[in-house]
């Protein structure tokens, strides 16, 4: 009779990234936030492409469900910055543009263009047209004469020549762009959409951020404070950095690690009627002075004032300076 010998099987080793999925997903009582160090390590593995696709999807959606903490956002940002190979480029404003506009045209682009004409060095960056029915910065670069840059060297040259540049996220953080592109696969925007607003890859003097969902503005301000960044966070129109003149605006600021808040009252006595359609030619007409339109002029002047406020100019002076810049702009386009 042959003696039975059981097969000895080795327990599969757990994937190193599994611990981070477990921390976030261990049920109502067992789950917790990642520490800043854990967030830095987890994002480092994502950026180094050391995770399985199933882990990536689970991680992003668990974060989305839980909502990110300031420490998590700071750790994620640190991981990205550690992997950037950007040369030292002097920059005044980091201007993320990831939401797209659907109710109004992107008047913030004229604000940025006018500021650049007056010596303010601005980097715009975005993640592509990922949601149907919205108008994105990338679609308007050529008509508005904003340089599209695919390398940091090109960014530096564009800033030296005209103080304004746009660089797609996919050219300096392709792994993050891939995560944003999962939006139509997962059915929801992932936390990367909001993380991209924090990254400030060139260490600008001030980062401007627009966070649409209530409660997130203070979280982003606190995360930037942990990173030592100067920042102003608003609930901008449509999720972009653009003041809505028909509503009060709350500025969530952090300067030198000190948080501050400022209330800006609405600029219009009554709400404007939403345009029936978005015609990009109207942007050019307003810039050239061929059209008069109350809403966009209020919106872009207030947005310019916001940017100047971020660079240290008090509110009233910022509005006066914005008006001077606008009146004296080079109208060729």
With the CA atoms of 302, 303, 306 and 310 taken in that order, what torsion angle do they form, in degrees rounded to the nearest 10?
-160
Sorting pLDDT into bands at 50, 70 and 90, what band is 148?
very high
The pLDDT value recorded for residue 284 is 95
Residue 70 confidence (pLDDT): 96
Tens digits of per-residue pLDDT, 265-275?
999 877 887 88
Interatomic CA distance for residues 323 and 314, integer angstroms: 14
* Domains of the chain with bracketed CATH: 18-83 (1.20.970.10), 93-327 (3.40.1030.10)
Q: Which of 29, 18, 28, 12 is nearest to 58 (CA)?
A: 18
CA angle 40, 45, 18 (to 5 degrees): 95
Cβ partners under 8 Å of residue 14, min gap 6: none
* Residue 37 CB coordination number (10 Å): 11
pTM for this one?
Answer: 0.93
What distances in angstroms separate CA 102 from CA 44, 65, 115, 210, 281, one per listed residue?
34, 25, 24, 15, 16
Residues 186-244 pLDDT 10s: 888 888 988 999 999 999 999 999 998 888 999 999 999 999 999 999 999 989 999 99
* Residue 142: pLDDT band with limits 50, 70, 90: very high
């Amino acid at each position: 009779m042959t003696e039975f010998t059981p097969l000895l099987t080795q327990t599969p080793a757990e994937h190193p990234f599994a611990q981070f999925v477990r921390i976030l997903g261990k049920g109502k009582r067992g789950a917790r936030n990642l520490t800043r160090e854990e967030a830095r390590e987890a994002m480092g593995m994502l950026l180094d492409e050391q995770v399985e696709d199933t882990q990536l999807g689970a991680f992003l959606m668990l974060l989305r469900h839980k909502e990110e903490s300031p420490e998590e956002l700071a750790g994620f940002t640190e991981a990205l910055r550690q992997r950037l190979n950007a040369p030292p480029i002097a920059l005044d404003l980091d201007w993320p543009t990831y939401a797209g506009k659907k109710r109004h045209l992107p008047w913030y682009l004229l604000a940025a263009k006018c500021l650049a004409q007056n010596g303010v060095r601005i980097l715009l960056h975005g993640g592509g047209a990922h949601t149907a029915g919205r108008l994105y910065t990338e679609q308007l670069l050529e008509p508005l004469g904003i340089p599209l840059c695919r390398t940091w060297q090109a960014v530096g040259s564009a800033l030296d020549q005209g103080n304004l540049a746009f660089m797609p996220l996919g050219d300096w953080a392709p792994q993050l762009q891939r995560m944003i592109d999962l939006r139509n696969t997962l059915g929801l925007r992932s936390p990367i959409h909001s993380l991209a607003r924090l990254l400030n890859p060139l260490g600008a003097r001030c980062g401007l951020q627009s966070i649409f969902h209530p409660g997130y503005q203070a979280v982003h301000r606190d995360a930037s404070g942990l990173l030592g960044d100067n920042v102003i966070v608003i609930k901008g129109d449509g999720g972009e950095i653009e003041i809505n003149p028909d509503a009060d605006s709350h500025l969530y600021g952090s300067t030198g690690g000190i948080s501050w808040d400022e209330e800006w009252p609405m600029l219009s006595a009554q709400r404007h009627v939403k345009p029936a359609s978005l015609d990009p030619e109207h942007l050019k007409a307003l810039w050239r002075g061929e059209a008069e339109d109350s809403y966009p002029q209020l919106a872009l002047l207030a947005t310019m004032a916001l940017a100047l406020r971020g660079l240290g100019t008090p509110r009233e002076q910022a509005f006066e300076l914005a008006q001077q810049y606008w009146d004296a702009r080079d109208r060729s386009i």
